[in-house]
Amino acid sequence: MVNNQVIIDLQLACKNLNGLPNQKMFQTWIYNIFATYRKKIELTVRIVDKKEMRYLNWYYLGKNYPTNVLSFPFTPPSIVTSPLLGDIVLCRQVIEYESKQNNVPSQSHWAHMTIHGSLHLLGYNHIFDKEAMLMKQVEISILRKCGYKRCCYIKHRSFKYL
């Protein structure tokens, strides 16, 4: 999927495809993050089931449970220039569960997790409170730009449910 200089490789790797955001939605969310960039950007968005997400979370982070989103930034060797930022992996069941638990529209939470993962590719983090607050402010700004007024924050350090 291409929008100006943003190229998205959308991979649907889950059994049930009903109710998933469509390509245009992902394109809108991600374009709103990278609209001000002047260079070409590529990233992969992969939607998976709990089993794959649990494995990825265990393999890369040592946590034996599925999570909502994982980001894998790509850093090319210094002699290579590449527009690839990395991969975002989203877990369908976890995102749907969190959406219901927090009484937030599904599409809004999908947008939030896609934006959250994309910001990790840009180096944003929520390890320390100051970083978490900055990331939260940027997420809210992008979500509002996309037309969403409600979102939730899932157990990220000092984040509270909105």
Nearest CA-CA partner of 146 in 120, 116, 119, 108: 108
Span 99-155, pLDDT tens digits: 998 888 899 999 999 999 999 998 888 888 888 889 888 888 889 888 887 666 544
**Residue 161 domain-assigned (yes or no):** no
Answer yes or no: is 152 within a domain.
Answer: no
CB of 109 closer than 8 Å to CB of 69: no
Specify whether the CB–CB gap between 10 and 1 falls below 8 A. yes
Measure the CA angle with vertex 144, ends 101 and 112; round to 5°: 40
Domain range for 74 is: 2-145
Q: Is 116 part of a structural domain of the chain?
A: yes
Given a contact cutoff of 8 angstroms between Cβ atoms, the answer to whether 72 and 97 are in contact is no
Q: What is the pLDDT of residue 128?
A: 81
Q: How many residues does the chain have?
A: 162
- Residue closest to 122 by CA, chosen among 25, 9, 26, 43: 43
Residue 159 maps to a domain: no
- 77-87 pLDDT, tens digit each: 888 888 888 99
